Amino acid sequence: MKFKTTKSIVLATFLAYSIFIGTLFVKRNFDVTKFINIGSRFAKADKLSYPAYVIPNSDGYDGQFYYRLALNPFDNQATSFGISLHCPFIVRRIVYPLTVYFLSLTNASVVPYLMIIVNLASLMLIGYYGSLYLKFLHKNVLLALLFPLSAGFLFVISRDLTEIMAMMFLMGAIVNYLYKKDILATFFLTLAVLTNETTLIFALGFLIYAIVTYKRDKHNFSSLAFSLIPILSYLIWYVFLVGNVGGVTNIVAQNNIGTVFSGISQFLQKIPSRPYILKRTYLVELGYALVFVVATFYSLRSSKSPTFIKISWFLSLIFVLSLTSSVWVDDFAFMRSLLELNILGLMVLLGSNKKIFNSIYAVHMLVWGYIFFDAVRHRFSFF
């Protein structure tokens, strides 16, 4: 019965996102390359190695750089396949495009499809790992559907981005660690930080926990290794990129971290001047985020979730509040940045037995549904 329940979570995730992807596919005139968001600033349609839609007079979005890497991640030229790799720092997030590259068997025509398929498969695995986490807590496994139905994932899968795979590896690392599979857990966390560097927040949170509990756990080296190996792996990869892709100024990300509340306060000031549809959506997203954070804070003491998850969630909160206006610019940016906070927060909330949180879970699903319909009706369908 438990296996059937887990299978139901995976199937429900597949169906929900298949409907979303299919609807966007139809709205985008059955052109799968529109998911990539290639902008004319960094690509020329007549130079592309495979025909793809290029948005006129546009910068495009990060998916175009992952697409470029997925065509050949071992080509470090500034411009290849008709696309300029304007953001060399994005090469740090290598696992997603590398996975697509190997699955494509160097067939460029299937790369746009595989970028979607890999993200869809990762969402299904998020549901699977969510069910294993709830089994560990002896909770209703059906609640695992909350994990893949986090609204931020809709933004990610609509533009071929990395956060879905990063959260899948992060959840896989946590679950395998809880089930005493230390080697596999360390491997998954290493993949997570090489998929998206923001998962270093969790690695740092766990490192703090491991150091504090080191003597109590009788010098448990495996706990230290679980956090240190991914951090060291990322640093080695970073140093390699500095020497082989570009200078530090090219590899370091843009100025995304600043004074706490500076970015979000500037964003809030600009909301009244936005169009009504955007204004309404932003208020829904930010209202839910506020309620979610308050609820998670309230649950910290009663939750039976592991302490290292609580520490990592708190660090993730500080990180989100420290993001500058370059991230707090629209929901395509900040909803992705909220995903790790959201996933870790769900793990904390689900560890509590307080019935009041059932209303939070309901709102969580409603917000996903709202973004779904807002996306296909207004904002994700056309350029």
pLDDT at 381: 59
Name the 3-class secondary structure at 94: coil
Backbone angles phi, psi at 31, to 5 degrees: -105, 100
pLDDT of residue 253 exceeding 60: no
List pLDDT tens digits, range 149-182.
999 999 999 999 999 999 999 999 999 999 999 9
Angle CA 208–214–219, to nearest 5: 140
Query: What is the residue type of 145?
Result: L
Q: What is the pLDDT of residues 267-306, one digit of tens each?
A: 999 999 999 889 999 999 999 999 999 999 999 999 999 9
Look-up of token digits 């689900």: 350
- Apex 102 CA angle, 98 and 108, nearest 5: 95
Percentage of the chain beyond pLDDT 90 is 77
| Euclidean distance between CA atoms 17 and 24, whole angstroms | 10
Q: Nearest CA to 68 among 89, 92, 43, 34? A: 43
pLDDT at residue 250 greater than cutoff 60: no
Task: Using DSSP bridges, classify how beta strands 54-55 and 38-39 pair: parallel, antiparallel or unpaired.
Answer: parallel
CA 365 to chain centroid, in Å, comes to 18
Long-range contacts of 360-367 (CB under 8 A, 24+ apart): 360/291, 360/292, 360/295, 361/143, 361/146, 363/288, 363/291, 364/146, 364/149, 364/150, 364/288, 364/292, 365/146, 365/149, 367/151, 367/284, 367/285, 367/288
* Tokens found for residue 261: 């509340």
Each residue's pLDDT tens digit, 98-107: 999 999 999 9
Say if strands 79-80 and 83-84 run parallel, antiparallel, or are unpaired.
antiparallel
Q: Which of 4-8, 84-88, 214-218 has the highest mean pLDDT?
A: 4-8
Which band of pLDDT confidence, cut at 50, 70 and 90, is reported for residue 382? Answer: low
Does residue 251 register a pLDDT over 80? Answer: no
More confident residue, 191 or 379: 191
3-state secondary structure of 327: coil
Per-residue pLDDT reduced to its tens digit, 339-357: 999 999 999 999 998 888 8
Q: Which of these ranges, 37-46, 76-85, 121-130, has the smallest mean pLDDT?
A: 76-85
pLDDT digits (tens, 9 = 90+) for 190-235: 999 999 999 999 999 999 999 988 767 654 778 889 999 999 999 9
Burial zone of 80 (CB within 10 Å; 0-12 exposed, 13-18 middle, 19+ buried): middle
In angstroms, the CA 382 to CA 372 distance is 15
Number of H helices, E strands in the chain: 16, 4
In the prediction, which pLDDT does 90 show?
86
Distance of alpha carbon 372 from alpha carbon 122, whole angstroms: 19
